[in-house]
A and B are shown apart, each in its own frame.
Chain A
Amino acid sequence: MATTNLAPTALSASASTGSKAPVPRKKMKSYYPSWFFIPAVALYVIFFAIPTFASFYFSLTRWDLFSSTYIGFGNFVEFFQDPQLLNGFIHTFEYGFATSAAKVIIGFLLAVILTSPVVARGYLRAVIFFPVLISTIGVGIMFKSLLDPFHGIVNAVLGVFGLPQPGWFTDPSLALASIAAVDVWKGVGIATLIFMAGIVAIPSEYFEAARMDGASSFKILRTITIPLTQPATATVIILSLIGGLRSFDLIWATTGGGPGFTSDVIASVIYKEYQAGFFGLSTAGNVILFIVVTAIMVPLSSFLNRRAVEL
């Protein structure tokens, strides 16, 4: 739960470093003992693998932590029959893909600006990265005030220009989009950083040669920068999608899934069912989230990494 927001670049790198280990020398091998795995494996098995496997069983039960009654696929049926739960399912996709796409595009553009000769680069980088450090709950509370429909500064400014002043978090058709926008605000710093690293790693001769040929900046962007930052793009997509599909904190701090159920996602539904004591149903939600995330991420990451390696 803790990590993913910040989990960056090593993803795509992993594929390459792992595979090109030099010839193993027999003698040295015993100096890299396999028991070094044990502590980590123990933690992983006890606190992660066992609950994950147990969740497959408990999702088929009505459960109160003390006793469980097997009810087959009843919880899953409930999940897909109940309009509010089904909504949460759909919102999860919308939210995950929208935030991920926005982070890729905005993060890339910011990285291009920040790697070009521009004044106060250090300042800009620090400012853009800053929201990454604030707690998500803090960000949620902050924006709830800033985006308050009647007193918030954002609508006050819009009012000065005679623009409409929507209820960002309170209008059912806007709530989810508003949260997604705040999510992008908070997370774009990481994406920018990863893209910057990708751009900096492109050998400068490429740019020089292109400029000699008289290529426009746009053409350089299209034919050099974009293709050669592919690994960075892969990393940003993967990380922001994992985070986006599992997102809970920000939604909980801003709308709590409301108004009504209009900004509920699977993770917030899981929490609400948990809070209500429906542990079997909550766990079924977990299994659904597990399936959704895995079904999207596994093919996507192997596709992206393959492309990255080919380039």
Chain B
Amino acid sequence: MKRERSIAWTKGVIAIVVSSVVFLVPFIFVILQAAKTPAEASNLTFSWPTHWQFFQNLTDVLNTNNGIIWRAFVNSAVLTVGSVIIMVIFAAMVGYVLSRKASKLNPVINFFVLAGLIVPPAVVPTIWLLQGVGLFKTMPGMILIEATFGLSFCILLFRAFVGTIPRELDEAAVLDGAGPVRLFFGVVLPLLRPVIVTVIVVQSVAVFNDFAGPLYFLPGDENATVQQTLYEFSGQNLSFDNLLFMDILLITIPPLVAYIFFNRQIVAGLTSGAVKG
């Protein structure tokens, strides 16, 4: 017994050391770089900063280019919140009806949902379309694009989860005189809370971290999202590696906070009813 325990401990310690080295060292590197002087940071060595200037770098980043990062955070927040709200509501409506009502249409819809997950979006034709409807380089256009690209995945999650809610609840609500709209928004939607949390967190992280989407469909300095600001610091001819890494650190915070708060729900939501045989 004792021996088994010490084996388990040894294994555990090894696992901790290895995983820390592999997964945490890179992040520690980011923090160290973010605290260095430009000259020292440009050496790229993994070392303790000889002159610790974390807060100066922080204010420098926040003030760079007239505070472009503030604008970028606002843009990213608007984009993320807007597109995720649309995704949640629209996808929940589809997933709900898809799961509740057997229809000849369902296989067709299922096919298109899967296609939406698999097929890579056609970049230039999408730009062409956005230009045609006057939404190219606009935040509403970008929000609708992100929402569209995220729909399929959300629908799959919602459909799987709605299946776990007893139909008797619907019937009870109908007996109480609820119409279809109130049935869904008043009764079913609140019950979807666990999967909604999952969808919100997963999709928020995805939209917030999306680089290619805004690169193609939302170009321009005034529209920059936080991912684009990384190019603000690496794209300049004079290198400011310290500020670049400070920027990485800053834009990692929102997803990190989301993860810490919702860790348990994400896992639960992702695995609810899924992945079993």
Within 8 A of A (CB), among B235-277: 241, 244-245, 248, 251-252, 255-256, 258-259, 263, 267, 270-271, 273-277
A4, A65, A133 interface centre (most CB from chain B within 10 Å): A133
Task: Judge whether A55 is part of the interface by a CB distance below 8 angstroms.
Answer: yes
Q: Give me 23 A-to-B residue pairs in the complex whose CB atoms sit less than 8 angstroms apart, sorted by A's number.
A: A3-B117, A3-B149, A6-B203, A13-B275, A21-B102, A28-B100, A31-B170, A32-B100, A55-B124, A117-B8, A119-B11, A119-B16, A127-B24, A133-B258, A135-B211, A141-B234, A141-B244, A145-B33, A148-B44, A198-B276, A253-B211, A270-B123, A282-B123
Residue contact A37 to B93, C-beta cutoff 8 Å = yes
Most buried by A among B25, B146, B211, B248: B211
Instruction: Report whether A133 and B12 are in contact in the complex, using a CB–CB cutoff of 8 Å.
Output: no
- B70 proximal to A (CB < 8 A): no
Most-contacted residue by chain B among A2, A17, A25, A270 (CB, 10 A): A2
Q: Quick one: given A6-B205, A7-B117, A52-B125, are A43 and B26 in contact (CB under 8 Å)?
A: no
Q: Which of A28, A50, A133, A242 contacts B118 (CB 8 A)?
A: A242
* Cβ of B43 under 8 Å from chain A: yes
Q: Chain A contacts of B127 at CB under 8 A? A: 65
Inter-chain CA distance A47–B66, complex, in Å, is 34
Which residue, of B147, B148, B273, has the highest number of chain A Cβ atoms within 10 A?
B148
Q: In the complex, what distance in Å separates the CA atom of A47 from the CA atom of B273?
A: 31
Given A13-B275, A148-B44, A232-B275, A293:B120 Cβ within 8 A = yes
Would you call B251 and A286 a contact (CB within 8 A)?
no
Residue of A nearest to B42 (CB): A151
* Chain A interface mostly: helix
Interface residues of B in 19-42 (CB under 8 A from A): 19-20, 22-27, 29-30, 33
**Inter-chain contact A1/B93, CB cutoff 8 Å:** no
Residues of B within 8 A of A63 (CB): 124
Chain B 70-82, CB-CB to A under 8 Å as 1, else 0, gives 0000000000000
- Chain B residues 157 to 173 lying within 8 A of chain A, measured CB to CB, are 157, 159-160, 163, 167, 170-171
Answer whether residue B63 sits at the interface, using C-beta atoms and an 8 A cutoff. Answer: no
The yes or no answer to A163 lying at the interface (CB within 8 A) is no
Question: For chain A residues 9-23, which have a beta carbon within 8 Å of chain B?
Answer: 9-14, 17-18, 21-22
- B-side residues, CB < 8 A to A, are 8-9, 11-13, 15-16, 19-20, 22-27, 29-30, 33, 43-46, 83, 86, 89-91, 93-94, 96-103, 105-106, 109-110, 112, 114, 116-129, 131, 133, 144-153, 155-157, 159-160, 163, 167, 170-171, 174, 179-180, 183-184, 202-203, 205-213, 215-216, 226-227, 230, 234, 241, 244-245, 248, 251-252, 255-256, 258-259, 263, 267, 270-271, 273-277
Type the 1/0 row for A53-68, where 1 means its CB is closer than 8 Å to any CB of B.
0110010000101000
Asked if A44 and B144 make an inter-chain contact with CB atoms under 8 angstroms apart, the answer reads no
One of B171, B255, B270 near A193 (C-beta < 8 A): B270
**Cβ of A153 and Cβ of B29 under 8 Å apart?**
yes
- Whether B8 lies near A141 (C-beta < 8 A) is no
Residue on B with the closest CB to A129?
Answer: B259
Q: For B46, what are the chain A residues with a Cβ–Cβ distance below 8 Å?
A: 146, 153, 156
A18 contacts B275, CB within 8 Å? no
For A252, the chain B residues whose CB sits under 8 A away are: 211
Chain A residues whose C-beta falls within 8 Å of the C-beta of B8 in the assembled complex: 117-119
Closest to A68 in B: B128
Dominant secondary structure of chain B at its interface with chain A: helix
Q: Which residues of B contact A294 (CB under 8 A)?
A: 118-119
Shortest distance between the CB of B19 and any CB in chain A (Å): 5
Cβ of A1 and Cβ of B118 under 8 Å apart? no
Q: Is the CB of B207 within 8 A of A146?
A: no
**B15 contacts A124, CB within 8 Å?**
yes
* Residues on B with beta carbons closer than 8 Å to the beta carbon of A11: 117, 156
Known: A14-B110, A289-B120. A36 touches B33 (CB 8 A): no
What residues on A are CB-neighbors of B226 within 8 Å?
A: 135
A43 to B121, CA, bound (A): 13
